[in-house]
A and B are shown apart, each in its own frame.
Chain A
Amino acid sequence: MSAESQTLPTDTAQVETQVPPRTEGEALLHARQLHTWFELRRWGIVRIGYVRAVDGVEFSLARGESVAFVGESGCGKSSLIRTLLGLHKPTEGDVIFEGRKLSERSRQERHEYRAKVGYVQQDPYGALPPFMSVRQILAEPLIVHGVRDRAERERRIRAALEEVRLSPPEEFLHKFPHMLSGGQQQRVVIARALILKPEMIVADEPVSMLDASVRIEILNLLRNIQRSHNLALVFITHDLSTVRYFAKRIFVMYAGKFVEEAPVDELIDHPQHPYTQALLTALPDPDPENAHRDTEVPGGEPPSLLNPPSGCRFHPRCPHAMQGLCDVEEPPLFEPRPQHHSACWLQRPEGEQPPKADPGATP
């Protein structure tokens, strides 16, 4: 432990010089070339392969900033946030929080990190222990993080319940999760994430299990909390239509990688990557005309992360795929518009090396 802590200061300084935050303000969290691979079963010493759930993700998050990760199921977004939370150890790369690498933190420091990052789970009922009352559920993180004074705990529990509009708190303190409605359960989950006064909240599809009318209520609540406490917020969703009310920036994830990143309105109004374009086309707004026209969506399925396609991972489904380029060379992140990054060869700036094959040719 001591050897580790001795090396730390120099390392921290290095990190700060190496990774200037891309956004304004001090970067609270930085993911550097994050890879999280899960090993498949192993036969003796023979390795069968890896599921590359997160495969080279890099981003920074400023204090008080809200970002959304959007992607289909199986694209690795849950693995990514679990890595950010420190629940998975990254195979490569590191999570840097407040200038300190997660992998180099001691046990005690990781414990402190967990107090600074709140987690709002997807399924509120599954996330709340059924045999604990709301009071016990909310007291647990306080006990774990050393709030020994019972009166102080009680005060903070009540404040947290007021914060998520479960008032009066007396009415809810003794209740068990099954006695609450879905919306109320999710509020308890949010209160639990807030009770240690975190710097950052990670919300994994916080409203996908809730009804339409409750959904907006919970989203508004989360947004108000995020603003009033100036929290950084990582919001995971597959529903782009809720993102607009929430996040400043969107990262679109496909097969373990970010394929596009932009401020919300910019991304929705001017999607650059063919995958993002397809996602947006596939999301209808309620309109009676929808019934009379087919949606143009690419066929096929997201690729297996065990053996992802070569080159651009979207090329087998992409209507603009260029043979000899997209299936061979992996596109880097280009910046076709200010602050708008897209990993697609179509956005290659003009004047650069032309593709080897005819751009119009499709496989």
Chain B
Amino acid sequence: MSNTPPVHPDASQQPRGDVLADDPSYAPRQSGAESAASGAAGETLLRVENMHLHYRTQRGVVRAVDGISFEMKRNEALVVLGESGCGKTSLTKALLRTLPRNVAHFSGKVTLAGEEISELSEEQFRRTVRWSRISMVMQAAMNALNPVVRVGEQVAEPLRVHNGWSREKSRERAAEVFHLVGLPADFLNRYPFELSGGMRQRAVLAMALVTDPLLVILDEPTSALDVLTQANIMNVLKRIKREMGTSFILITHDVATSSELADRVALMYAGQIVEDSPAQHYFTDPAHPYTKLLMASVPRLREVVEPEHIPGQPPSLLELPEGCRFADRCPSRHERCGANPELQSLPDNRKARCWLFTEEAQST
């Protein structure tokens, strides 16, 4: 808090850039030294260590994010897969610190491009991280556009708020980003209702990209769209990743679509990551028993394989079992599953949370 400048009562009316110029923590963004494209591609961009996010409810504490650690590199696309209610969306809330009121416990260390952003105060986080370095396309965001404000205005808003840019300058940048996501520039003057679902989704994506962030979090960006529109949006994301060097975290439950972007896949189950593997291994040779079952349950178009369902239901996040959280549904269950295993490192840069992969188990 020490280096946060005092917030003037009418600070919101001043151009933000003036206020921020005094703020040393804002310097890297202002000098433009850190944009998505800068930095070596193999360098670690984001490291999350032991993140917890628990909610207080009438029926007890919901452990939505319960000890999640992962790492991602620059220009990488990390897919977070999981069934509904496994804590995927809570993870994004924890990363962006857009927390609801009923948080019971929130902890974890987050390092973004070498800077420990979990140490930042709320105000510093808002100014220097949220939307300027990590932006997001929220679930069903295309339906959350303000119906009475022109789309271009809404897309340019982050620049005016975060960078203190003038209306004209931010509009020019918005036009650039519109081009990037494949929207004609004259759409800037349209209202959301004049756009189709796919177009609105592109506009929301433009809003997330307009500040040239290091990392874009996409929460189910295509689940409400039609097949062809979905394929078009995935093409746009691939192109942006290739051309702009942006990194993505893609949250989804759709296994087939996730393979369209994934460099790495983290599978969540009951608030924890159970497998974290490079895409080429995840989709062809899954390690964890849950991953195997999940992959077998995906109906395939081009192969005649009968998909199989996973028996049972995921545990309630209110009363999580002592041991391995998947044990009740697991075909490889044995006596050790009474205790919850740690995320074990495997060869080929893979990780799995299962007793089958401990060192002793592998040596025998």
Chain A interface (Cβ < 8 Å from any Cβ of B):
72-73, 181, 211-217, 219-220, 238-242, 244-245, 268, 278-288, 290-291, 294-295, 297-299, 301-302
The answer to whether A288 and B83 touch across the interface, beta carbons within 8 angstroms, is no
**CB-CB contacts below 8 Å: B223-278 with A:** 226-232, 234-235, 238-239, 253-263
**CB-CB contacts below 8 Å: B82-118 with A:** 83-84
Residues on the B chain within 8 Å of A287, using CB: 259, 283
| B292 on the A face (CB < 8 A) | no
Residues on the B chain within 8 Å of A213, using CB: 83, 293-294, 297, 309-310
The answer to whether B313 and A291 touch across the interface, beta carbons within 8 angstroms, is no
Please give me the residue from chain A that is nearest to B86 by CB atom.
A211
Cα(A240)–Cα(B302), bound, Å: 10
Are A286 and B256 CB-contacts (below 8 A) given A220-B309, A245-B306? yes
Cα(A251)–Cα(B297), bound, Å: 25
The answer to whether A285 and B231 touch across the interface, beta carbons within 8 angstroms, is no
The answer to whether B227 and A294 touch across the interface, beta carbons within 8 angstroms, is no
Q: Which of A241, A288, A295 contacts B300 (CB 8 A)?
A: A241
Please give me the residue from chain A that is nearest to B260 by CB atom.
A290
CB distance from B319 to the nearest CB of A (A): 16
Please give me the residue from chain B that is nearest to A242 by CB atom.
B299
The answer to whether A285 and B302 touch across the interface, beta carbons within 8 angstroms, is yes
Residues on the B chain within 8 Å of A290, using CB: 259-260
| B198 on the A face (CB < 8 A) | yes
The answer to whether B227 and A291 touch across the interface, beta carbons within 8 angstroms, is no
Cα(A73)–Cα(B295), bound, Å: 27
Residues on the A chain within 8 Å of B131, using CB: none
The answer to whether A291 and B77 touch across the interface, beta carbons within 8 angstroms, is yes
> What bracket does the count of chain B residues touching chain A fall in?
35 or more
Residues on the A chain within 8 Å of B229, using CB: 72, 301
Chain B interface (Cβ < 8 Å from any Cβ of A):
77, 83-84, 196, 198-199, 226-232, 234-235, 238-239, 253-263, 279-280, 282-284, 293-295, 297-304, 306-310, 313
Cα(A238)–Cα(B229), bound, Å: 12
Please give me the residue from chain A that is nearest to B293 by CB atom.
A213
CB distance from B241 to the nearest CB of A (A): 9
CB distance from A288 to the nearest CB of B (A): 4
The answer to whether B299 and A244 touch across the interface, beta carbons within 8 angstroms, is yes
Given A212-B253, A212-B298, A299-B232, 5 more A-B residue pairs with CB atoms under 8 Å apart are: A213-B83, A281-B231, A282-B230, A285-B256, A295-B231
For the complex of A and B, 5 pairs with smallest distance between CB atoms: A282-B231, A217-B309, A72-B226, A216-B309, A288-B279
Residues on the B chain within 8 Å of A220, using CB: 309
The answer to whether B228 and A212 touch across the interface, beta carbons within 8 angstroms, is no
The answer to whether B262 and A295 touch across the interface, beta carbons within 8 angstroms, is no
Residues on the B chain within 8 Å of A212, using CB: 83, 253-255, 294, 297-298
The answer to whether B307 and A245 touch across the interface, beta carbons within 8 angstroms, is yes
Q: Which of A282, A286, A297 contacts B255 (CB 8 A)?
A: A286
The answer to whether B227 and A282 touch across the interface, beta carbons within 8 angstroms, is yes
Cα(A309)–Cα(B102), bound, Å: 52
Cα(A285)–Cα(B306), bound, Å: 14
